[in-house]
Amino acid sequence: MTGAEDWAKGSTLTEPLVGSKKLRILILAAALCLIVLGCTGPTFNRAIHDPVTSTEELQTQLARLEQVNLTVAGGKFDLGRYPALVGIDIRNGNTLVEKFICWDGCPELGQVFLVYQGVGSKEACLNTEGSPIISPVPIPGESWGCVLIID
């Protein structure tokens, strides 16, 4: 009997699937998709939600931050927006954020840097081909972040 004949007799289109191999395959495929989505780590989610940033876009961001940093001492600076997500560096897959770092007289003596998120040590920073921000005297040795470097 064909699907059209079943339909004419009043049966639904789903009835031929009940107990069939097609239904089992469909259920297994759906379960596999749920398992894959549930078990993937944050890098999978990050790649979906955050924009991948090209070298040209990063250069544009750095030029914009130069202009932003000119406003820090003038009092027209909004600290509330930092840290701000920028995207993912296409060269190494690390997440970039704009981070405001200040010293001594905060916020007048500070700057917004484009840093790699979660890269905390000097060694890890050098592995990402970034440049570590080391705190100035009187607190030597403490790393404040890893700044993006574009050759």
What are the pLDDT digits (tens) for 43-71?
444 444 557 778 888 899 999 999 988 88
Query: Would 112 be classed as within a structural domain?
Result: yes
Residue 43's pLDDT is what? Answer: 46
Pairing of strands 131-134, 95-102: unpaired
Query: Would 45 be classed as within a structural domain?
Result: no
Non-local (6+) Cβ contacts of 75 within 8 A are 108
114 has which bridge partners?
98
Query: Would 46 be classed as within a structural domain?
Result: no
Give CA separation, 91 vs 55, 88, 116, 124, 150, in Å: 8, 9, 12, 16, 10
Residue 14's pLDDT is what? Answer: 52
Residue 103 above 70 pLDDT? yes
pLDDT in tens, 130-147: 999 877 665 556 778 899
Q: What is the pTM of this model?
A: 0.61
Contact 51, 61 (CB under 8 A): no
Contact 135, 141 (CB under 8 A): yes
Residue 16 above 60 pLDDT? no
Query: Would 94 be classed as within a structural domain?
Result: yes
Mean pLDDT of 15-23: 66
Q: Are residues 72 and 123 in the same domain?
A: yes
**pLDDT higher for 114 or 15?**
114
Count up the domains in the chain and report the number.
2
Domain that holds residue 35: 3-39
Q: Are residues 34 and 70 in the same domain?
A: no
